[in-house]
Amino acid sequence: MELTLAIAIGVLTGSGVWLVLRPRTYQLVIGLSLLSYAVNLFIFSMGRLRVGAAPVLGADGVANPADYADPVPQALVLTAIVIGFATTALLLVVLLVSRGLTGSDHVDGRESR
Amino acid sequence: MDWERHLLIAPILLPLLAGAALLLIDELRHTLKALVNLASTLALLVVAAALLRMADGADAGGGSVSLSYAVADWPAPFAIVLVLDRLSALMQAVTSILALAALVFSLARWHLAGPHFHSLFQFLLMGLGGAFLTGDLFNLFVFFEVTLAASYGLLLHGSGSFRVRSGLHYISINLAASLLFLIGVSLIYGVTGTLNMADLAQRIPEVPADQRMLLQAGAGVLGVAFLVKAGMWPLGFWLTPAYMAAAAPVGAIFVILTKVGIYVLLRLTVLLFGSLSGELAGFGSMALLWGGMATLAFATSGVLASQAMGRLAGYSVLISSGTLLAAVGIGDAAVVSGALFYLVSSTFATAALFLLIELVERAREPGADLLAVTMEAYGDEREETEEPEDEEVGVVLPGALAVLGFCFGCIALLLAGLPPLSGFIAKFAMLTGMLNTAGLGSTQTVPASTWLLAALLILSGLAALVAMLRTGIRTFWAPLETVVPRVLVMEVAPILTLLALCLAMAAGGGALIRYTDAAAHALHDPARYIEAVLGSGNPEGSSR
């Protein structure tokens, strides 16, 4: 499971970085989204990978904290997803405005010569 | 007193509520919106003054050096905690003064150039207040994002092709930096299992040797994220175009944004990798020192090469960043104290320059009013119909060119660090801290890097002076047909206030130096910070 997750994060980051370095605004947005997926998975993995462990304690108290998954990274991931979603939406708007104003989807507003 | 502790959350709640309320008010009711914004910013200034007094008096009676406020009264390492010490109170005060100046300036005309200016302005203040007061790394991320989201909107305020293009770059770079921030935070959490800064400072010395590399990687990645925001070379290429493109009041308030990165770096390096952290002490300070010097060298040549005044102002921000980063890198309490003084002085001076540029440019290009053009590009008919009648409101300043020239001269003195204004005292304090740590007549050797930094610091002042003189001569003396710009009193008043504050800082420099000294010494004593945060975690001593 560790290997699968590591490869997934690596592939997402690699594709994301490559896309961010491309000149089209659309590629930039997709690249940043892929990067943020990779980062979200990475944060999640920082709580250690567990299968079948609940992150929330039951009402009857804690028998053994080691039986539970760490809830903090999961909360962090939620916050990061929300913030990433909002900022990406904002970037999309700016991208459309830029396309409308300059008539080009190049990140510099004009084709490089 | 009990209620006083609740003031700690006011810099976050007040702008949040004001900003949210402003969203509900119709865009057409400009005056009401402006009044709400002004009232909230004024209240924030009062709160900041109270916080400053609280922070300064906190250890007078032998109490702790910082005050902590547990939001919702959950004990410290587990919940959201706000921490007030001299440094955060100072940053909060600088922010509120700057905000008030920028706001008054914008009320002359800029606030009409697009929707939601006032809400975004308040949200920016909320993010800044939160970033300065938070005692938790993840909340820092959240407040950073709030600040940045508001800054994206403000940068685009007034629209126009240049703004949108630089806005696109600014947003993309900051989004990428935020991802680095998250990677750093999660790595640190993965190693230490906590995100509370005080708790981190306690746990970092106990990190086993085989995990230390992961921790260093996390701290390094986190540092890069802040360095991008502080504009360190080679991560700061985005800064100049973005600041040039911003509307004048927005540019002025953005000056404090680079200082947030520096604030966090200062706080984290002394707290996490300071005297308590054993083998990890001093991690990253060399990178900050040399990076700061590289920034200083880059910005110095940038200032000399600048043709447009906006670019000159952008590079002045970078000079200020570079100086501060290098001072944080040296890390000595005396240098940090001088650097804090310099931070206040240079923030006011650069912000005043950003405000002044727009007024001076009006003299250069009569008729081609920037605002009118961008309004057209923006294409909001409601705003356009509103604009002409508001144009005539306000008292026109007599002898505009003389006043503008005077302000320009003062800013040149401040940026170059010449007496009699505060820029001189700031640089003098830093140089004394660097070269004369043990007092006169001591035989202590000063490292070569410090000599280099001192030389760069003085050279950057010379470059700023040369560049400002050249621009000033070209703007105020060279033109054959002088066009007297139409400048409102309301627009010059904030600039004059900022400069008067710099003069006051020079005249009453002793008081401020005493404050920054105390702030720097408190920073270098992380044990007291930890005790203030974690010690108040018990139910009795908490901030109910």
Most confident of A49-58, B231-240, B273-282, B434-443: B231-240
Does residue B374 lie within any of the structural domains?
no
User: Closest to B186 (Cβ–Cβ): which among A20, A73, A88?
Assistant: A73
Tell which phi-psi region holds residue B82, choosing left (phi > 0), alpha (psi between -120 and 50) or beta: beta
Q: What is the mean pLDDT of chain A?
A: 86
Does residue B359 lie within any of the structural domains?
yes
Per-residue pLDDT reduced to its tens digit, B135-168: 888 889 889 999 998 998 888 887 778 888 888 8
Per-residue pLDDT reduced to its tens digit, B347-358: 999 999 999 888
User: Closest to A35 (Cβ–Cβ): which among B159, B179, B190?
Assistant: B179
Select the residue from A48, A76, A108 to test the B interface by mutation, using most B Cβ atoms within 10 A: A76
Question: Chain B partners of A28 at a C-beta cutoff of 8 Å?
Answer: 172
Q: What pLDDT, on the 0 to 100 scale, is given for residue B442?
A: 63
User: Closest to A32 (Cβ–Cβ): which among B149, B172, B183?
Assistant: B172
Does residue B154 lie within any of the structural domains?
yes
Q: Would you give the DSSP letter of residue A110? A: S
Chain A residues in contact with chain B using a Cβ-Cβ cutoff of 8 Å: 20, 25, 28, 32, 35-36, 39, 42-43, 46-47, 72-73, 76, 79-80, 83-84, 86-88, 90-91, 94-95, 97-98, 101-102, 107-109
Does residue B442 lie within any of the structural domains?
no
Question: Chain B partners of A76 at a C-beta cutoff of 8 Å?
Answer: 138, 185-186, 189
Task: Give the C-alpha distances (Å, rounded to integers) separating B276 from A102, B25, B204, B280.
Answer: 54, 51, 9, 9
Helix (H) or strand (E) holding B83: strand B81-84
Q: For residues B279 and B212, what is the distance between their CA atoms, to the nearest angstrom?
A: 10
Does residue B196 lie within any of the structural domains?
yes
User: Quick one: which of B378, B246, B259 has its CA closest to B317?
Assistant: B259
Tell which phi-psi region holds residue B444, choosing left (phi > 0), alpha (psi between -120 and 50) or beta: beta
Q: What pLDDT, on the 0 to 100 scale, is given for residue B279?
A: 74
Q: Quick one: closest CA in B to A73, which residue? A: B186
The number of C-alpha atoms within 13 Å of B246 and in the hemisphere containing its C-beta is 29
Does residue A26 lie within any of the structural domains?
yes
CA angle B63, B12, B340 (to 5 degrees): 60
Between the two ends of chain A, the Cα-to-Cα distance in Å is 47
**Cβ of residue B182 closer than 8 Å to a chain A Cβ:** yes
Amino acid letter, residue B307: Q
Q: What pLDDT, on the 0 to 100 scale, is given for residue B369?
A: 42
Does residue A109 lie within any of the structural domains?
no
Rounded to the nearest 5 percent, the helix, strand and coil shares of chain B are 75, 0, 20
Interface predicted TM-score (ipTM) of this complex, two decimals:
0.92
For residue B132, give every residue at least 6 positions away whose Cβ sits within 8 Å of its Cβ, in sequence order, or none: B11, B88, B91, B92, B95, B260, B263
Q: Would you give the DSSP letter of residue B81? A: E
Domain count within chain B: 1
Per-residue pLDDT reduced to its tens digit, B230-271: 888 888 888 888 888 888 888 899 999 999 999 999 988 888
Per-residue pLDDT reduced to its tens digit, B361-419: 876 654 444 444 444 454 444 444 444 444 445 666 667 778 888 888 888 888 888 88
CA distance B502 to chain A (A): 37
- State how beta strands B67-70 and B81-84 pair: antiparallel
Question: Chain A partners of B195 at a C-beta cutoff of 8 Å?
Answer: 72
User: Closest to A32 (Cβ–Cβ): which among B138, B176, B186?
Assistant: B176
Cis status, amide bond into B234, omega within 30 of 0: yes
**Cβ of residue B167 closer than 8 Å to a chain A Cβ:** yes
Does residue A92 lie within any of the structural domains?
yes
CATH number at residue A32: 1.10.287
Does residue B386 lie within any of the structural domains?
no
Q: What pLDDT, on the 0 to 100 scale, is given for residue B482?
A: 66
**Cβ of residue B156 closer than 8 Å to a chain A Cβ:** yes
Q: Would you give the DSSP letter of residue B72? A: G
Both tokens assigned to B149: 């989201």
Q: Would you give the DSSP letter of residue B27? A: T
Q: For residues B144 and B157, what is the distance between their CA atoms, to the nearest angstrom?
A: 20
Is B178's CB within 8 Å of A35's CB? no
Q: What pLDDT, on the 0 to 100 scale, is given for residue B509?
A: 83
Q: What are phi and psi of B61, to 5 degrees?
A: -90, 30
Does residue A45 lie within any of the structural domains?
yes
pTM for this structure?
0.87
Confidence of residue A75 (pLDDT cuts 50, 70, 90): confident
CA angle B264, B270, B274 (to 5 degrees): 150
Domain count within chain A: 1
Question: Chain A partners of B142 at a C-beta cutoff of 8 Å?
Answer: 79, 83
User: Closest to B190 (Cβ–Cβ): which among A46, A84, A95?
Assistant: A46
Share of chain B above pLDDT 70, in %: 86
User: Quick one: which of A42, A50, A101, A97 has its CA closest to A73?
Assistant: A42
Q: For residues B303 and B315, what is the distance between their CA atoms, to the nearest angstrom?
A: 6
Both tokens assigned to B400: 């505009």
Share of chain B above pLDDT 90, in %: 19
Q: For residues B527 and B197, what is the distance between their CA atoms, to the nearest angstrom?
A: 12
Domain span at residue A32?
Answer: 2-50+70-102
Statement: residue A6 has pLDDT above 50: yes
Domain span at residue B298?
Answer: 2-365+397-436+449-537
Q: Quick one: closest CA in A to B164, which residue? A: A98
CA distance A109 to chain B (A): 6
Q: For the ranges B351-355, B499-503, B536-540, which has the lowest average pLDDT?
A: B536-540
Does residue B542 lie within any of the structural domains?
no
Is B164's CB within 8 Å of A73's CB? no
The number of C-alpha atoms within 13 Å of B159 and in the hemisphere containing its C-beta is 24
Does residue A55 lie within any of the structural domains?
no
User: Quick one: which of A25, A27, A23 has its CA closest to A113?
Assistant: A23
Does residue A95 lie within any of the structural domains?
yes
Q: What are phi and psi of B381, to 5 degrees?
A: -65, -35
Q: What are phi and psi of B69, to 5 degrees?
A: -130, 115
Looking at residues B221-236, what average pLDDT do you find? 88
Does residue A11 lie within any of the structural domains?
yes
Does residue A82 lie within any of the structural domains?
yes
Q: Would you give the DSSP letter of residue B468? A: H
Q: What pLDDT, on the 0 to 100 scale, is given for residue B365?
A: 55
CA distance B170 to chain A (A): 10
